Structure 1
Amino acid sequence: MSSEDGLTVTERTRLRRLREYGSHRRADLDAVLGAGFLCHLGVLVDGSPRVIPTGYGVDGDTLYLHGSVAARSLREAPQTEVCVTVTHLDGLVLARSVFEHSFGYRSAMVYGIPRLVTDPEEKLHGLRVLTGNCAPGQWDYARRPSRKELAATSLLALELTEASVKISDGPPDDGDSPDAALGLWAGTVPITTVYGRPLADPVLPPGIEPPEHIAALEGRTPGA
């Protein structure tokens, strides 16, 4: 086990395939996590793997994940190793041969045994971090969780120590291969995620407009 720029390098995070795309730099991990708010939690439940999409938020060295207390995956997670993945799809890489086709992407994998957050103050703080990660300002705008709602919500905390990052961008890899003589188009097709125009709840009374922090999201990319 070794350390590189703040991240622990283990047999699980050691980069073996496409190492030129990989990184163990904490700055790269922060950039990937900061560009989104949806992750996938991988955990074993009764010996079978489950991968659950859920929201996340980051505060310092802690990754917060939340869900329902009724979810078995979240009940099992504090007792076992988990793998949390975050992926951003940035484009299609279309080569001259199908074999060389790929994607432009940014991804991170975080390993560890999460802890269940039971301290009331930390639980509120973690939920505020989660809310602010997807909609900055919404925590102060909307009603806060009630005691009953907090009791129905699980919050997990996972330390950002054992992780790896992979980033793939650029053109196809077959520009200097024999396939370059085929006369076929090759290149990339960018994919961009942006916030759209807010759509009001159909039962919302007339005259209630989106608050400034929500209206300001339109046209922006997550994490920008």
Structure 2
Amino acid sequence: MANPPAHLIPSRAAKRANYEPETINSILDEALYCTISYSADNKPYAIPTAFVRYGNRIYVHGSVGSHLMRELEKGIPVCITVALMDELVVAKSAFHHSVNYRSVVIFAQAEKIESVADKTEAFKWLTEKIVPGSWDYLRPITDREVLKTTALAFKIDEASAKLRTGMPVDDDNDLELPIWSGLIPLQTKRLTPIPDKLSEGLPLPTHLAAI
């Protein structure tokens, strides 16, 4: 994006902004949850929810009775945010402590998906993102279940990423202080699945054993 609109330019550390679709998409594909912020009835809302990116859109779902879904399907403006924390940045002073992160901000309006076939496809994309390899293993979703669920899509046309990497940046006068500084890596990973009582005698499916 050669000349991003003003609302996509960070007010601080603008040099960390990135508008390349490859960067934005890689962050969206790694994150499992986003936060959707909007205003309704003169009140602010910020709701975390699972999502999936497919092409130039992200998809979310919820009950047809959900306040969030009913508000968003009106096409009101929303701000969608995603953040991945990679490392704690430990400096020689509390002032320069920081975090290495990757984040995305999207401004968009919802498009309601009406077709049962298209909704089912969106649910498949989301299921495969959250638990890869599970869609074909599970009991097939029914049309009744699809009709009880709202699916919304948001274009990623107005989006920006912001990233921080690297070591702490201390004041020159602090560089020789005998105080440890560096990075503390953070990691989110899938651990060994834990069965419920009904599954204790069942073998772990291949797609879960690969986690």
Shorter-chain-normalised TM-score: which range?
over 0.9
Aligned-partner Cα distance in 2 for 1:199–1:212? 14
Aligned-partner Cα distance in 2 for 1:194–1:21? 26
Aligned-partner Cα distance in 2 for 1:90–1:13? 23
Shift of 1:205: 5.1
Deviations 1:27-75 (A, max 9, x none): 1001101112211111212121111111111111111011222221221
Q: Does 1:45 align with 2:40?
A: yes
Specify the alignment match of 2:113 in structure 1. Answer: 117
The partner residue of 1:105 within 79, 101, 106 is: 101
Specify the alignment match of 1:155 in structure 2. Answer: 151
Specify the alignment match of 2:50 in structure 1. Answer: 55
* Residues 36, 134 of structure 1: 8 Å contact kept: no
Distance 1:97 1:205, change over 3 A: closer
Tell me the amino acid that sits aligned with residue 213 of structure 1: H
The partner residue of 2:60 within 65, 83, 89 is: 65
* Residues 91, 188 of structure 1: 8 Å contact kept: yes
Specify the alignment match of 1:220 in structure 2. Answer: none
The partner residue of 1:181 within 176, 184, 201 is: 176
Specify the alignment match of 2:163 in structure 1. Answer: 167
What is the TM-score normalised by the length of structure 2?
0.94
Aligned-partner Cα distance in 2 for 1:153–1:106? 31
What is the TM-score normalised by the length of structure 1?
0.89
Unaligned ranges ≥5, structure 1: 218-224
Percent of aligned pairs sharing the same letter: 30
Shift of 1:14: 2.1
Q: Runs of at least 4 residues of structure 1 off by over 3 A?
A: none
Aligned-partner Cα distance in 1 for 2:197–2:172? 56
Specify the alignment match of 1:213 in structure 2. Answer: 207
Aligned-partner Cα distance in 2 for 1:96–1:181? 10
* Residues 116, 147 of structure 2: 8 Å contact kept: no
> Number of matched residues?
210
Aligned-partner Cα distance in 2 for 1:205–1:88? 34
* Residues 87, 185 of structure 2: 8 Å contact kept: yes
Specify the alignment match of 1:136 in structure 2. Answer: 132
* Residues 9, 17 of structure 2: 8 Å contact kept: no
Aligned CA RMSD, in angstroms, stands at 1.5
Aligned-partner Cα distance in 2 for 1:165–1:148? 38
Specify the alignment match of 2:18 in structure 1. Answer: 23
Shift of 1:9: 2.2
* Residues 9, 163 of structure 1: 8 Å contact kept: no
SS of 2:79's equivalent in the other structure is strand
Q: Does 1:92 align with 2:84?
A: no
Deviations 1:72-92 (A, max 9, x none): 122111320111111111111
Aligned-partner Cα distance in 2 for 1:37–1:67? 15
